[in-house]
Amino acid sequence: MIVLNPTPNNNIFATHAVDYADQGLYVFPVGGEDGKRPLVKNWRKFGPDTWKNVSERFASDNIGFLNGVGRNPVTIVDIDDPLLIDSAMQIFGETPIHVQTPSKGAHLWYRSNGERRTIGYNGLKIDILGKGGLAVAPPSYRPQKGSYCFVRGSVVDIAMLPKMRQCLEAEQAISKDSDIGTRNDALFKYCLSIARNCQVENELSEAAIEKNKGFSPPLLLIEVQRVVSSVWGYKINGTLTVKGDNKMLIDVEILTLSNKPDALTLLVCLLRYHAMRKTPFAIDQEKMKVILGWGDRRRVSNAIGVLISASRLENLGKGGNTKRAYQYKLMA
């Protein structure tokens, strides 16, 4: 029987750290206000037996472990939205270990194949906890939230974990049927038409999921969420415009980028400010990431590359007043 919200054990680290160490993981104590902050210095330098030196001192604290190292190295797919769990397993592959997090999300465990840490995979509420980072193991407890619990599998399954599909394979899994673009475009247009009347993103998500049920076959839920995230991004950034607005009309042709939400978001932003401009313009990637609410400048750079490849944006080379900034122009 699985207990999803057990009473916190007062000796979590002292009792259970050995189980993970026996499976070849490099464990160390975590805790603090959020229950997952490393409590020791140089935790990235912990080896297979270092935990024994701190077990008594941190007996009642939580269990953390290093991703991507050890005899049975682990990579974790961290899913915030429970609606994406089944689709994530379709994309990244099945795994015998599924852990429910205190926030009711999921950790899907895979054998590491050298994956690096990735936050916001493809713009979704999915992180890949890879080499160089840490993860928190059951039955660790987060104050006011609950425990990490095994929904499927247990510690003994760590040695049998499969490798996750690589990102390229995952993308191919999403796009494996030829009709996905038509359904994606239809869902995107539908979400654009109703987003203005939605108060929260979950409301738009629920409507999109219901609409998706009418497709044959339906899109994966992870693809539905990708569309929802893209449209909601327009709304919160003030770029949500549809036919009848006095700001800007969205050219139906740009919906071919609906499976590239970052590129589409950037294009709409550029159209809003530069559509009528006849002279080249520069893109300050640092400022643009702030405007779009993106934490990483590389998302802007990658989106620019996609737009150039899609013939929506042309790089004219360096110019401007300083002759050092790349100049661009929008293409019809």
186-227 pLDDT tens trace: 898 889 888 888 888 889 989 999 998 888 888 888 788 888
**Is 1 a member of any domain?**
no
Per the model's pLDDT, the better-predicted residue between 272 and 63 turns out to be: 63
| β-strand partners of 37 | 31
* pLDDT attached to residue 2: 40
* pLDDT attached to residue 246: 47
275-330 tens-digit pLDDT: 666 678 899 899 899 888 888 899 999 999 999 998 889 999 888 767 778 899 88
44 with 150, same domain: the answer is yes
* DSSP code per residue over 63-78: EEEETT-SSS-EEEEE
Tokens of 167: 């990102």
64 with 157, same domain: the answer is yes
* pLDDT attached to residue 69: 94
Contact criterion met (CB below 8 Å) for 90 and 220: yes
**Is 134 a member of any domain?**
yes
41 with 134, same domain: the answer is yes
Segment among 40-54, 102-116, 185-199 with least mean pLDDT: 185-199
* pLDDT attached to residue 195: 87
Contact criterion met (CB below 8 Å) for 135 and 117: no
Whole-number Å distance between alpha carbons of 314 and 232: 27
229-287 tens-digit pLDDT: 888 887 776 666 655 454 544 555 666 787 888 998 899 888 877 766 667 889 989 98
64-103 tens-digit pLDDT: 999 999 999 999 999 988 888 887 888 888 999 999 999 9
pLDDT grade, residue 7 (50/70/90)?
Answer: very low
Per the model's pLDDT, the better-predicted residue between 2 and 50 turns out to be: 50
Contacts of 53 (CB under 8 A, 6+ apart): none
Identify the domain boundary among 126, 142, 170. 170
- Count of structural domains, the chain: 3
* pLDDT attached to residue 239: 64
Identify the domain boundary among 138, 170, 202. 170
* pLDDT attached to residue 49: 94
32 with 96, same domain: the answer is yes
* pLDDT attached to residue 167: 53
**Is 125 a member of any domain?**
yes
**Is 244 a member of any domain?**
no
C-alpha dihedral (229, 273, 250, 301), degrees to nearest 10 = -50
pLDDT at residue 23 above 90? yes
Residue in the structure block whose two tokens are 């673009």: 181
113 with 183, same domain: the answer is no
54 with 182, same domain: the answer is no
**Is 214 a member of any domain?**
yes
Contacts of 66 (CB under 8 A, 6+ apart): 25, 26, 28, 43, 44, 46, 133, 134
Mean model confidence pLDDT for the chain: 84
**Is 6 a member of any domain?**
no
141 with 19, same domain: the answer is yes
Identify the domain boundary among 118, 140, 170. 170
164 with 18, same domain: the answer is yes
C-alpha dihedral (262, 268, 271, 272), degrees to nearest 10 = -130
Whole-number Å distance between alpha carbons of 330 and 276: 10
List the domain range (segments joined by +) for residue 80.
12-170
Longest dimension (CA), the chain: 70
Indicate the DSSP class of residue 116.
B
**Is 83 a member of any domain?**
yes
* pLDDT attached to residue 24: 96
Q: How many helices (H) and strands (E) does the chain have?
A: 9, 14
